[in-house]
Structure 1
């Protein structure tokens, strides 16, 4: 890959993680006027329309699948897409945006550990190191530095919901590797948006306190902008930018950029006037260090091995 292509990929991934990180404080702001379930319905509806238009523009036909394959794709989407958004936005109503982004930063690590568990393999030492360091950073923030809260398992309910949503997304990410072998990613994502829209609409129908139509008619222009940002940029735009970056840099290198999500979330939260504490910033630094250090050590070892091989030849 030439330097300009590599630079372009880096810029695309940084823009992608900015969109994803900004969704946390933007969503937190929107929740001041609409219920979490109403917000998720907006997100899925906007994303589904945009993806449908994009698929038509690219002349992407829906794949011909067996009934079992359709059931599997829809089931995995309900767990991952529906579970993530249900946990994320109901959790954001009860916790800080920076906390939510910090918990979601554990997703790549959780995906790796889920893979090890389902494949009945022990995780590598680097993954274990990352788990210990990252969890210490997250727990430092979630317990507000109070050890007695950790011993008593006293966590904010919103943090718990986001953590469950993160686990749903990590499981979805792992299972998607199998689905992608027989279903293109754009149609699969469209199925995910429609599946999520269906299950959240069903949950809303049984929730007496949620009135999506009335809430939508009463929202301000500012919050309407929030909803459009989350649906267009935070969902469709972020996904397309991510796919493009992964194609150019590879999944392993692209996954490193996920570490910028809590950073951009904290910066956007600050711009929105939301509180960002020094403890949250410390937690972000610890999590990023836990994710990056094993990779840095691995790169240094590979570089040393190459130099050793060159010197012997």
Structure 2
């Protein structure tokens, strides 16, 4: 591999992790003025418009699919894209950005677990180690270090909702691996944004608390900037950077950069004046260690094998 190209890919993936991590405290800030459903509608509308422009610019064709394939694409998108955003931003209204980012950091591991369950395959020892260590780090933060809360299953309601959103996204990620064989990823994501926009708009129409039109007309410039950041950089920009990095480094290596998301979320939260407790930092360190150690051990074994 070209070293310069690899270096560029690393920088792009770090920028992607920053965009995704920053979206948590930025979204938390925006929720002080708009309802979670209004925020998600803005996110999907901005992302869909940007992707539509990108598709036209690159002249990417929308494939011709069978009715069952379209139904599958739209259904998976509603569950994954719609479920993630509904759970994430609804949950952020009731918890802090660092907790949200830490829960989402479990997504790559949860995707592997879902794949093992659906394919009826046993997890590797490294995956089991990662699962145990990462869950201990997340539970440490979610229970605030109090064992009695764990035993009585007393978790913050917002954390629970984000966890459900993360499960939706992990299922979506796993199912997308099959869809990607016959559906290009950028048109697929565009369809996902439209599907998410449709389902969240329906939910908002029946919500007594969300008033997207009125809230949008009264929105401040600062929160408008928040929404533009989440839609343009946190969604479209992050996704395109991720695709570019994966193409150069591969999915396994690229997934390591997901570990930087909670770190960038915590750093950005501080700039917004949002508190980041020492217990949350400890939890992040445990989760990142659990994700990295098995892979570092594997790389070391491969290196020794080549030297031998």
TM-score after normalising by structure 2: 0.99
Corresponding residue number in structure 2 for 1:281: 281
1:89 aligns with 2:111: no
Q: What is the Cα deviation at residue 81 of structure 1?
A: 0.1
**Per-residue displacement from partner, 1:227-276 (whole Å, max 9, x unpaired)?**
00000000000000000000011111000000000000000000111000
Q: What is the Cα deviation at residue 306 of structure 1?
A: 1.4
Corresponding residue number in structure 1 for 2:98: 98
Residue aligned with 2:4, SS: helix
Q: What is the Cα deviation at residue 22 of structure 1?
A: 0.2
Matching of residues 130-149 of structure 1 within 5 Å = 130-149=130-149
Residue aligned with 1:183, SS: coil
Corresponding residue number in structure 2 for 1:188: 188
- CA distance in structure 2 between the partners assigned to 1:295 and 1:220 by the alignment: 45
Q: What is the Cα deviation at residue 141 of structure 1?
A: 0.2
- CA distance in structure 1 between the partners assigned to 2:209 and 2:242 by the alignment: 36
**Per-residue displacement from partner, 1:281-302 (whole Å, max 9, x unpaired)?**
0000000000000001111111
- CA distance in structure 2 between the partners assigned to 1:262 and 1:178 by the alignment: 28
Matching of residues 38-187 of structure 1 within 5 Å = 38-187=38-187
- CA distance in structure 1 between the partners assigned to 2:134 and 2:8 by the alignment: 29
**Per-residue displacement from partner, 1:194-229 (whole Å, max 9, x unpaired)?**
000010011111101110000011111000000000
Residue aligned with 1:295, SS: helix
Worse overlay, 222-231 or 296-305: 296-305
- CA distance in structure 2 between the partners assigned to 1:282 and 1:99 by the alignment: 12
Q: What is the Cα deviation at residue 3 of structure 1?
A: 1.4
Q: What is the Cα deviation at residue 307 of structure 1?
A: 1.7
- CA distance in structure 2 between the partners assigned to 1:8 and 1:207 by the alignment: 45
Corresponding residue number in structure 2 for 1:311: none
1:250 aligns with 2:235: no
The gaps in structure 2 that reach 5 residues or longer are none
Q: What is the Cα deviation at residue 75 of structure 1?
A: 0.3
Moved over 6 A (4+): none
- CA distance in structure 1 between the partners assigned to 2:74 and 2:89 by the alignment: 21
The gaps in structure 1 that reach 5 residues or longer are 309-313
Corresponding residue number in structure 1 for 2:298: 298
- CA distance in structure 2 between the partners assigned to 1:305 and 1:52 by the alignment: 48
Q: CA RMSD, aligned part only?
A: 0.5
Task: Report the number of matched residues.
Answer: 308
- CA distance in structure 2 between the partners assigned to 1:120 and 1:248 by the alignment: 31
Residue aligned with 1:304, SS: helix
